[in-house]
Structure 1
Amino acid sequence: MKKMALFAVCSSLLVGVNTSAFAVDFPHLTTTGYGEVIAKPDMATFSVSVVESTMTAEQAKSKVDEVVERFISSLAQAGVTEDSISSSNLYLTPQYHYPKDEKPELVGYRASRNVNVTVNDLSKLNQYLEVALVDGINQVDNIELKVSNESEYQEQARQAAIKDAKQKAESLVKGFDKELGDIWQIRYNNSNTQPVLMKTMQMDSARMEKSSYQDSAITIRDRVDVLYKLDD
């Protein structure tokens, strides 16, 4: 079982303040509950690029296509399924030199293609990056660490937020010698998961990031606002 830390975050409380789109004309209390789950990533997606500049468009296209095809073939041999790999179309642009007070001179062509890979086993991420390096990929555009069962963690965070809102309401009414009535309104504000993103890097730099993959953590948050009636 994956380790995770579950906790509620302290939040500001509003007593008797209108938080809905309409006026609330009875005594009430509003609390905001927050919940977080810290999850260890077990999968990843990464995007790499191959870029070539040559004198002719045909040469540039040929070199880029050759590298991409070799990389995709190597991934397949390493056990990556076809539906975990996607590649972009070729992007080809002319390159010009701009002499002062003269017409631009065509000096060659720049071709590039991207390949996106889903890694279902995080322990193999470094292996696939090494494959990319060997096959001639020259840039990692991004690496995003994820959890495969994110919905389960999100539910854990949601339940923590609900518990947090309840505890705050009960504490407040006790402190003010009031009675907590029925729930009048619940407003759900789902907080997005914060994935672990690695910056754009050259392939040699990507190899230096190895130790950080397994030590990373993903924060999954949730939030709920609850408006209670206050009994006399």
Structure 2
Amino acid sequence: MTRSLPALMLGAALVGLSAPAALAQSAPMEMHAMTAAPALNLSAYGEVKVAPDMATITFGVMTEAPTAQAAMADNARRMQEVFAALGRAGIADRDIQTSGLNLSPQYDYVQNEPPKLRGYQASNRVTVNIMDLTKVGTTADAVVSAGVNQIDGIAFGLKDPKAAEDQARVLAVRALQDKARLYAQALGVELGAVRTLNEGGGYQPPQPMPMYAARMQMAESDSTPVAAGQLAVRIDITGTYDLGR
């Protein structure tokens, strides 16, 4: 047993020396196997123009009084008149939502003197969805006549944007396919299948645009003119295509 021990140690040493050489020979083969196939990463978009079929108006009533109770009471009375006017204009209760209620003290400031409390300001803001675009101007006139003294703006939108989004999706995919074919042809390679496809964007209701008070001060026989125009619905996509070698 004591005579064979050096031979065993020598054999183990030889095995240890040969291991790095074996690893070095196999490494290039493994790296070659891990090399990703050539791919093409592209982006495209599709956009359609559609006429809006609804509008959203945000407006409010602001009142001031010497006391907080008086300011809130006056505001509540005027808002009741506004709600009644909305009902007469054909606006359903489900399309009316209070979007802000605020009460704050008001001070007069004089140089070198402490602020002096003047009274309190109450503000009640309401967001109204109008499902009939022919009623937008008359609704705005009705609430102003009922006591509204602040109009934040108007935004046009879609009740159901899915159809417009689907059209934009089809246009986006077609644009992506055309771009991929063009790149493959220019590179002189064969275009493979789509490896990944991701979507972004989509329909977003426009932000309210200001409605100027001057337009509210029209003759009783006229209603505030409102132009709906068109909305742009856009879908952005990105895709990865396999390429032949």
Q: TM-score normalized by structure 2?
A: 0.77
Q: Structure 1: give runs of 5+ residues left out of the alignment.
A: 1-22
CA distance in 2, matches of 1:178, 1:37: 33
Could you list the runs of 4 or more consecutive aligned residues of structure 1 that deviate by over 6 angstroms after TM superposition?
none
Letter in 2 for 1:156: Q
3-state SS of 1:198 partner: coil
Is the Cα contact below 8 Å between 1:194 and 1:219 reproduced in 2? no
| Structure with the larger strand share | 1
Partner of 1:213: 227
Distance in 2 (CA, whole Å) between partners of 1:80 and 1:42 is 15
Partner of 2:88: 77
CA contact (8 A) 1:139 1:202 kept: no
Out of 109, 114, 137, which is 2:120 matched to?
109
Alpha-carbon shift at residue 184 of structure 1 (Å): 1.6
Q: Determine the C-alpha separation between the residues in 1 that align with 2:57 and 2:129.
A: 7
Residues 218, 43 of structure 1: CA spacing in aligned structure 2 closer, same or farther, 3 A cutoff? same
Q: CA deviation at 1:47?
A: 0.7
Q: Distance in 1 between matches of 2:172 and 2:132?
A: 30
**Residue 231 to residue 75, structure 1, CA distance change in 2 (3 Å):** same
How far apart are the structure 2 equivalents of 1:74 and 1:210?
16
Aligned length: 208
Alpha-carbon deviation of 1:189?
Answer: 2.0
The residue aligned with 1:7 is none
Whether 2:190 is the aligned partner of 1:203: answer no
TM-score (norm 1): 0.81
Q: Is the 8 A contact 1:33 1:161 kept in 2?
A: yes
| Alignment match, 1:14 | none
Displacement after TM superposition at 1:183 (Å): 1.5
| Per-residue deviation, 1:85 | 0.7
- Verify: 1:225 aligned to 2:233, yes or no: no
Deviations 1:14-67 (A, max 9, x none): xxxxxxxxx982212122121001111110111101111222223221221111
Superposed, 1:75-154 pairs within 5 Å as: 75-88=86-99, 90-154=101-165
Post-superposition CA distance 1:72-120 (Å, at most 9, x none): 1111122211111112564211111233333322111111101110101
What letter is aligned with 1:28?
Answer: A
Letter of the 2:168 counterpart: A
Give 2:39's aligned residue: 28
Q: Which range is displaced more, 154-163 or 179-188?
A: 179-188
Looking at structure 1, the residues matched to 189 and 69 of structure 2 have their Cα atoms a distance apart, in angstroms, of 79
Separation in 1, partners of 2:168, 2:71: 50
Point out where structure 2 has 5 or more consecutive residues left out of the alignment.
1-33
Q: Looking at secondary structure, tell me which structure has more helix per residue.
A: 2
Q: Where does 1:6-17 land on structure 2 (aligned, <5 Å)?
A: none
Cα distance in 2 between the residues matched to 1:57 and 1:198:
32
For the structure 1 residues 225 and 72, does the alpha-carbon distance in structure 2 shift closer, same or farther, using more than 3 Å as the test? same
Structure 2 counterparts to residues 188-199 of structure 1, below 5 A: 188-193=199-204, 195=206, 197-199=208-210
Q: Which amino acid aligns with 2:231?
A: I
Q: Percent identity?
A: 28
Residue 13 of structure 1: aligned partner: none
Tell me if 1:53 matches 2:64.
Answer: yes
Partner secondary structure for residue 197 of structure 1: coil
